[in-house]
Structure 1
Amino acid sequence: MDLDDPMIDNLRRIAFARDVRVQDLTVAILERPRHQELIADVAGTGARIRTLEEGDFASAVMAALPGSGIDAAIGIGDLHATLIAACAVKCLGGEFLARLMPRNDEERKAIGDKASHVYGLGELAPAADIAVAITGVTGGPLLPGVTFGSGYAETSSLVISSRHATVRPFMGKYRPQAGDGAWVGPGLVAPRNGYLMGGIP
């Protein structure tokens, strides 16, 4: 893939690798005003589009996860989520390309000539041994959110490992600790993208 090439060329490469037509591909894009041009570009190729309300990180993982129904993910997202997504995609054997997108003159000045540099997995996730843990909080296309029952909370998570080449789903149940009402287990915090993410590069 090449970020400087037209959208159709990159989707043709993905279609060739999957032995399908471009029209058979499904591309995930976060539904944001900044992505309207990308959505139009993908629509012009004939590929299917799955727009997501939340989950730029999730879409990247789903594109590399067999059986997810997503063949590629495209978008402009948060730097931290991008790095963790790159770690997860590397664990899954996928391909990941990114470029810095300065939002103003100050950021353009700060990154200088790096604005045109394309980062691959070798730079974004250079370690050979990587593990990523993801827990759904508010819920999304990759994982359901936290559910609450009578005296307990239930979470769904994925642990992805490059060392063992595994994707392990698991469910956790947490109950209030006797006496002070504190929850046993990790704290539940709802970040903007609806997932708790941790990477060990």
Structure 2
Amino acid sequence: MLLAPDMLDLAGPMLARAQEEYGQILWTADWALMGVLFHGDNPSVRQVPGMNRVAVVLPMSGADDTDIATAFLAHEVIHCMYLAGECTPPMIEEGAAVRFSLIEAAAVSPDFAELLREHQTTGPEVAHYAEALVAVEWLLKLAPEAIRTLRAKNPDWKAITPERIKAVAPQVPAALASVLCEVREMRPDYEREMFLAEEARQ
């Protein structure tokens, strides 16, 4: 495990840019982002045990690669836009996160952003992320303000329903609205399963 205070310094400006893309940020009941660290292989946002605090966990592969670290941080920052405890993000949130990681990566290195997009759409174990990205890009092509509008009254991504999507953007196909609101296991997270099992034993 490696603490990453420099990455935490980047998280604030990233959140501001995320707000421009997707609308308001809300941390309920004194929830806050406590830190960023490198650990293991799977990026995630994890609750600090016993506290209303979360930490962004980035894969160790990013510890020596700024491009990778920036892209993963940008993805996880989207999951920090609404903090109210741990939850499983819907596809619209995951797609928004993948899209934002590509935006942030392109600002640092356009060449890396192209490689990242290829990986995010064709790499192993990314099928759900690829579908989420395509769905969000399609939504925003049809209705560029849709996500900001949907999150204006309630910033909780899970409060977005197919009916609400259709209400703000009637041109969106029903099938697309449905996919955007699905909650899926995006990829196996064996490290998280081990972590939760250890917590349960204590």
> Would you say same fold, with TM above 0.5?
no
Q: TM-score, normalised by structure 2?
A: 0.29
Which has a greater percent of strand?
1
Name the larger-Rg structure: 1
Which has a greater percent of helix?
2
Q: TM-score, normalised by structure 1?
A: 0.29
